[in-house]
Amino acid sequence: MQKPKNIIEKIWEQHVVHHEDGKPDLLYIDLHLVHEVTSPQAFEGLRMSSRKVRRPDRTFATMDHNVPTRERHVIKDLISKTQMDTLKNNCEEFGVSLADIHHPDNGIVHVIGPELGLTQPGKTIVCGDSHTSTHGAFGALAFGIGTSEVEHVLATQTLWQSKPKTLNVKVNGKLGLGVTAKDLILAIIAKYGVNFGTGYVIEFSGEAIRALSMEERMTVCNMSIEAGARAGLITPDETTFAYLKGRRHVPKDDEFEEAVAKWKFLASDEDAAYDFTLEIAAEEIEPQVTWGTNPGMGLPVSGSVPDPSLLEKPSEREEIKRALDYMGLEAGQPITSIKIDHVFIGSCTNSRLSDLRKAAKVVHGHKVHSSVTAIVVPGSMSIKLAAEKEGLDTVFTEAGFEWRDAGCSMCLAMNDDVIPTGERCASTSNRNFEGRQGNGARTHLVSPEMAAAAAVAGHFVDVRKFAAQEVL
Amino acid sequence: MEPFQIHKGLVYPLNRSNVDTDQIIPKQFLKRIERQGFGQFLFYHWRFDDNGHPRKDFSLNEEKYNGASILLGGENFGCGSSREHAPWAVQDFGFKVIIAPSYADIFKNNCGKNGILAIQVSEEKVHELMKRAENDQYHLTVDLAKQLVFDDTGFEVSFDIPAYSKEMLLNGLDEIGVTLNYEDKISQYELSVGA
C-alpha cells in the first residue's frame, strides 16, 4: 500500500517537473497573479534578456496597491501613475490579461482571483505578494514570491522550491457567537508567535475550520504568512465546490463534475503524517485586538496591555517596551480603554461581501463616534456593486462611514489613504507594523464586527456586549 | 548576479527581533520601477526624523558604522511582505552579508536571488557578535566555499547552506538561464497534464 499523504504532499507531487536528490524541485506553477508594485523590474528583466512570458494564458494582472479609493481614475501621485502605466504597457507588450482601474473586474488581487474562479483546488498559485496564502482557502498551494521569482515564473512557468515541512493546525469545537475567523487566526498567532510557521506550509483542519464559509477561510489562510508560513491551506469540500460552481474560469457542467471528483482526492489521507501538529480549542477564543507592532502582539478584548517589567528575558522586555512606546499605550491599560481616531474596514483579509454585511449589521441604526473617521473599502469593484444592490452602502454612509472604491488602500497606505502620525486606527487588515498605515500611525488589528463596534463607541468594545445576539 | 566568494567587512549590529520589511523599506518607496537606488531609503523612519534629519538615537547613523557591509540582525529577520525592494535596499546601502539567528522565508529567498548571503547562526553566537560590534569597530570575514565566519582574534563559526543556493551564489548564476535548460521537461510536463 502507498504511504498515506497529506494534501500538501499531494499537490506538491502533482507539480514536480524535475527532481534531483539534494536539490530543490522544479515546480510547475498553474496560476501567476501579477500587480503593479512587484512586477515592473521583472518585466524589465525579461526585456533585457529578450525573453517572453511563457504562458500568458496562466498569467493574470490587476492594479490594486496604488489605486485611489476616491476618484479612482485621477491618480495625482505621478510615481504611482508611472507604476500603473508601466503595468499596462507591460501587459500589452507581453500579452497578459489585465483588469486595470477601468475594468469592472478590478480589485485586490487576492479578492478577484477567487471571485473570478481563477483560484481552484489543487493548483499551484504564486504572486509577488505575501498574502497570496489567501488562495489556500480553496485547497491550492499558494504562496508569495519576490520580484526575481516573478520574473522566473513569467519566463519559465516554474520555480525551484525545496519541499516544505508540513504543519497541521487543528481547530476543534465551535467558535462562539460573535467570534470570527479573524479572531481565530489572530488568537493562534498571539498564542504561538509570528514565526511558528516559518519553513512550514500549514493545513488548517478540524471542526471549526470545516464550519467556516469560503470567505472566512480566506481570512484565515490570508494571515498564515503572519505566522511565518508562506502558505496555509484548507482541504476543499462541499462548501468549496458550491462557491466555485458557475464562476467564470471554473469548468462548466460535466467538466465541473469531473473536476469536483478530482478535487475530492486532494483531501489528506486518514493516517497522513505531518512534521508537526497543533490542536486548538475554538471555544476558548474571544474577540481579539492587537496592541503592539506585530500581529503576534494580540489579546482578547477582555485583556489588558502587557507590563514589560514583569518579563524576565531582557530582549522581550525591550521589544514590548518599544512597542508600547510606539503605540502610545500604558502597561496594564485595559484594551477597552483604548480610544481610536480611525476605522478601516477593508484589505485582502476582510473586504469581501460577507465581511461588509457583518460590519453593516453591527453599525445599523448607530452613528460613528464624533471623534472617529471611518472608511469602508470593498475588496473589488464587483463587491462594491453587490453591496450597493443590498443597500449596505446606505447603512454605512447613514452611520457616518465613507463608502469608497476598491483597492488595498489603508492596509498599507500606498495610495492617499494614510493615517496621520500618532493617530490610532482599528483596522480589519493584516499587519500592525510600525508605519504600516502611515509614518507614526498606530494600528490595531480586529475583525470587521469589532471594527464596526469600535467606530460607534470611539474605543474598543466587546462586540458581544455591544450588539444584540441576532446581529452577530 | 555577482558571484559571492569571500568577503571581509565592518559589522553593523541591529539588536532587534522581528525586523519587518516595512521597516527595512517603507511602502512610500516601493513605487519606483527600477531595481537600483533603494539604499537611501533603508530603515528610513528609523534613520531619519519627520524632517528628514538623521536621528541621533539610531545606531546606523553613528560614524563608526560608516561603510559597514555585514548586517547583524535578530530573530525572524525580514518578516512581513514579499517586497524584493527590501533586499535591494540592504544591498544598495552596501551590505553584502546578513547574519541572524533566523529569517522569514521569503526575505531569505529574495536575498539569495540578489547575491546577498543570509547566514543563519545560533542566537548565542549572534549575541556574542552583537556585543563585539556594539563596543567597537568590528570586522568579520565570511568564506562561502568553506562555510565559515571568522575574525582576526580566533572567533570562528561555521554555517549551513543548501548546496544549490551555495552553487548559485558562488558562481553568480542566472537562475532563469539555468531553468531554460529544462525547457523540454517543462513542455513534457505540460503535455502530460494537459496544461
- The pTM score is 0.97
What share of chain A in percent tops pLDDT 90? 96
Residue to test with chain B: of A163, A195, A290, A415, most B Cβ within 10 A = A195
pLDDT tens-digit profile of A454-464? 999 999 999 99
Residue-level pLDDT at A471: 87
Query: Helices B105-113 and B85-93 meet at what angle, rounded to 10?
Result: 60
**First vs last C-alpha separation in chain A:** 48
Q: Say whether residue B18 is in contact with chain A using an 8 A CB cutoff.
A: yes
Grouping H, G, I as helix, E, B as strand and the rest as coil, residue A283 is helix
Closest CB from B80, B113, B114 relative to A431: B80
DSSP string, A192-248: H-TTTTTTEEEEEESHHHHTS-HHHHHHHHHGGGGGT-SEEE----HHHHHHHTT-T
How many distinct structural domains can be found in chain B? 1
CA distance B102 to chain A (A): 9
A373 beta partners: A342
CB B170 within 8 A of CB B5: yes
- Write out pLDDT tens, residues A5-57: 999 999 999 999 999 999 999 999 999 999 999 999 999 999 999 999 999 99
Geometric angle at alpha carbon A454, from A309 and A307, rounded to 5°: 5
β-pair partners for A403: A376
Residue B106 lies in a domain: yes
Predicted pLDDT of residue A472: 87
Residue A85 at interface with chain B, using a CB cutoff of 8 Å: no
The arithmetic mean of pLDDT across residues A187-214, rounded, is 98
Nearest CA in chain A to B86: A146
Q: Given strand A442-445, what is the order of strands in its sheet?
A: A402-403, A373-376, A342-345, A424-427, A442-445
> ipTM of the assembly?
0.96
Structural domain contains residue B139:
yes
Let me know if residue B1 belongs to a domain: no
Residue A256 Cα to chain centre, angstroms? 27
pLDDT band at A470 (very low <50, low <70, confident <90, very high): confident
B57 found inside a domain = yes
d(CA A117, CA A260): 14
Q: Which three cell numbers stand for residue A209?
A: 475550520
Which region, left, alpha or beta, applies to residue A409 given φ > 0 means left and ψ of -120 to 50 means alpha?
left
Q: Residues of B numbered 60-99 whose beta carbons fall under 8 angstroms of chain A's beta carbons: which are they?
A: 74-76, 79-84, 87
Identify the closest residue of chain A to B80 by CA–CA distance: A226
Average pLDDT value over all residues in chain A: 97
pLDDT at A2: 82
Report yes or no on B77 lying in a domain: yes
User: For the packed helices A181-192 and A214-222, what is the interaxial angle rounded to 10 degrees?
Assistant: 20
Output the nine-digit C-alpha cell for A126.
504564486
Q: Does B191 touch chain A (CB under 8 A)?
A: no
Digit-coded pLDDT (tens) for A208-219: 999 999 999 999
Taking alpha carbons only, the member of A246, A233, A176 closest to residue A208 is A176
Q: What is the mean pLDDT of residues A385-392?
A: 98
Test A37 with B83 for CB contact under 8 angstroms: yes
Is A130's CB within 8 Å of B81's CB? yes
Residue B43 belongs to a domain: yes
> Which chain B residues are Cβ-neighbours of A156 within 8 angstroms?
176, 179-180, 182-183, 186
Instruction: Give the model's pLDDT for residue A307.
Output: 97
Contact between A148 and B32 using a beta-carbon 8 Å cutoff = no
Q: A85: nearest CA in chain B?
A: B33
The Cα A308–Cα A314 span in angstroms is 9
Q: Which of A132, A195, A319 sits opposite B102 (nearest CB)?
A: A195
Q: What CATH number corresponds to the domain at position B182?
A: 3.20.19.10
Domain of B52 in residue numbering reads as: 6-193
Cβ contacts (< 8 Å) between A17 and chain B: which residues? 182, 185-186, 189
Distance, in Å, from the CA atom of A375 to the CA atom of A406, rounded to the nearest integer, reads: 12
CB-nearest to A146 from B26, B113, B193 is: B113
Quick one: pLDDT at residue A1?
66
Tens of pLDDT, residue by residue over A232-275, are: 999 999 999 999 999 999 999 999 999 999 999 999 999 999 99
For residues A434 and A412, the answer to whether their CB atoms sit within 8 Å is: no
Q: Which residues does chain B have with pLDDT short of 50?
A: none
Residue B128, in any domain of the structure: yes
- CB pair distance less than 8 Å for B28 and A414: yes
Do A419 and A336 form a contact (C-beta atoms < 8 A)? no
- The strand pairing partners of A169, in sequence order, are A204, A278
Cα separations (Å) of A441 from A290, A340, A347? Answer: 14, 11, 17
Report DSSP state, residue B171.
H
Q: Is B69 a domain residue?
A: yes
